[in-house]
């Protein structure tokens, strides 16, 4: 457990819903106050605000072991993936987009929307709570342009073997977009080691900030190969050229951005990133392995139906447990002072570095109290 006293919600509640939204810290509260103070005191300090956006860009780059020029700062993962989609050409023989069935809806929906432009969208089905590697081997072929891959499933916490799937894709000449929204902030992620071409995520969840700011990593060698048509003045080579007679995209990943950056959210993002850096990703990963291990062990001991794999190498920071009345269970737990969430028929329990074993004990005791909803 780290920095718990920085998150005031723990004075009254047990917060275990970081897969939806990270807990609110005093640092993020104060960051928004600083934004309002800067606005009030300085009027329109655009140099300061652009500098803050660049600080976030550098912070994300450090998190992913990338170069800042490979990072686009966007307002959402939807905006990031949508911008990338407009840059792809589906008119050739390689027009297939592979989407795994662990995908978050927005990503899959964007690819299906591009069927009107010639994209052929093919899904990799799940087999129970996993997707076997041989499914990727069979479906990815010489017509595959891009594999849109989920790092950690938002429904059940399953973590995919990214390196092996990327190897399959690269062997067959396909690019890979990795959606790491449910992973970033919970474990070290090295885009060089993973060899992905694109990676997206946001600061809303395990980066402890707020909605309204996300990012897209684009491998350096690919940046100038693609020119998104979903664009804007902050995607230009010279932001302040104000040239209305041509489109001159940035030579960096900034070409995947669009209009005015999400200025208020850059303050929160900086604060959240600093908290994660302060604890350290290796320590966070170790702590989450211990906390999720205690949740799994307690759930199985009580006879609950664990959906998430028992093997800690095969899941992320979330543990999912089956419930036949999960919406009611979430409400009852909220009355008990425990904040969790659900998807499908799964109760989603998602701790972070600020949770401790007392939180786990209270959760398990309350689940036992409501066991008629569990088994």
Q: Say which CATH topology domain 4-24+280-373 has.
A: 3.90.1150
CB neighbours of 132 closer than 8 A, spacing ≥ 6? Answer: none
Looking at the DSSP bridge assignments, the partners of residue 244 are none
Predicted pLDDT of residue 1: 77
Predicted confidence (pLDDT) per residue in 209-259, tens digit: 999 999 999 999 999 999 999 999 999 999 989 999 999 999 999 999 999
Mean of pLDDT values over 9-27: 98
pTM of the model: 0.97
CA–CA distance, 77 with 47 (Å, rounded to integer): 26
If you write DSSP's letter for every residue of 303-329 in order, what string do you get? T--B-S-SSGGGB-S-EEEE-TTHHHH
CA–CA distance, 65 with 239 (Å, rounded to integer): 26
CA–CA distance, 46 with 18 (Å, rounded to integer): 32
Q: Is the pLDDT of residue 375 over 90?
A: no
Q: Is the pLDDT of residue 358 over 80?
A: yes
Looking at the DSSP bridge assignments, the partners of residue 121 are 97
Predicted confidence (pLDDT) per residue in 267-296, tens digit: 999 999 999 999 999 999 999 999 999 999
CA–CA distance, 76 with 211 (Å, rounded to integer): 8
Radius of gyration in angstroms for the set of CA atoms belonging to the chain, rounded to a whole number: 21
Q: Is the pLDDT of residue 57 over 90?
A: yes
Percent of the chain with pLDDT over 90: 98
Predicted pLDDT of residue 8: 98
Confidence of residue 374 (pLDDT cuts 50, 70, 90): confident
Average pLDDT across the chain, whole number: 97
Predicted pLDDT of residue 43: 97
Domain boundaries, the chain: 4-24+280-373, 28-276
| Angle of CA points 118, 119, 120, to nearest 5° | 115
Helix, strand, coil share of the chain (percent; to 5): 45, 15, 35
Residue 369, H or E segment: helix 357-369
Predicted pLDDT of residue 239: 92
Please state which CATH number belongs to domain 28-276.
Answer: 3.40.640.10
Predicted pLDDT of residue 340: 98
**Phi, then psi, of 100 in degrees rounded to 5:** -80, 155
**Would you state the structure tokens that stand for residue 111, as one six-digit string?**
């690819």
Burial (CB count within 10 angstroms: exposed 0-12, middle 13-18, buried 19+), residue 331? exposed
Q: Is the pLDDT of residue 102 over 80?
A: yes
Mean of pLDDT values over 44-68: 97
């Amino acid at each position: 457990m780290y920095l718990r006293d920085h998150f005031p919600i723990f004075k009254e509640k047990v917060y275990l819903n970081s897969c939806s939204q990270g807990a609110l810290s005093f640092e993020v509260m104060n960051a928004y106050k600083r934004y309002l103070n800067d606005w009030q005191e300085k009027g329109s300090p655009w140099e300061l605000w652009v500098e803050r956006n660049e600080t976030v860009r550098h912070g994300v780059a450090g998190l992913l072991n990338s170069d800042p020029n490979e990072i686009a700062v966007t307002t959402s993962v939807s905006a990031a993936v949508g911008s990338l989609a407009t840059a792809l050409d589906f008119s050739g023989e390689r027009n297939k987009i592979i989407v795994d069935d662990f995908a978050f809806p927005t990503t899959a929906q964007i690819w299906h929307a591009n069927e009107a432009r010639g994209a052929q969208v093919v899904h990799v089905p799940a087999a129970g709570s996993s997707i076997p590697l041989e499914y990727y081997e069979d479906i990815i072929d010489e017509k595959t342009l891009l594999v849109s891959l989920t790092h950690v499933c938002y429904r059940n916490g399953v973590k995919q073997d990214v390196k092996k799937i990327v190897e399959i894709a690269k062997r067959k000449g396909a690019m890979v977009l990795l959606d790491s929204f449910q992973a970033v902030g919970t474990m070290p992620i090295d885009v060089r080691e993973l060899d992905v071409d694109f990676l997206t995520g946001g600061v809303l969840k395990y980066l402890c900030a707020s909605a309204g700011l996300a990012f897209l990593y684009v491998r350096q060698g690919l940046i100038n190969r693609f020119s998104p048509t979903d664009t804007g003045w902050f995607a230009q080579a010279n932001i302040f050229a104000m040239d209305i007679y041509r489109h001159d995209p940035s030579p960096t990943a900034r070409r995947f951005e669009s209009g005015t950056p999400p200025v208020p959210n850059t303050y929160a993002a900086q604060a959240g990133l600093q908290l994660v850096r302060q604890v350290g990703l290796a320590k966070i990963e170790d702590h989450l392995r211990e906390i999720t291990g205690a949740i799994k062990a307690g759930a199985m001991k009580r006879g609950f139906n664990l959906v998430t794999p028992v093997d800690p190498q095969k899941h992320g920071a979330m543990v999912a447990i089956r419930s036949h009345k999960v919406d009611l269970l979430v409400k009852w737990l909220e009355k008990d002072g425990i904040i969790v969430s659900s998807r499908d028929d799964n109760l989603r329990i998602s701790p972070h570095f600020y949770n401790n074993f007392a939180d786990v004990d209270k959760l398990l005791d309350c689940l036992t109290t409501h066991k008629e909803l569990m088994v």
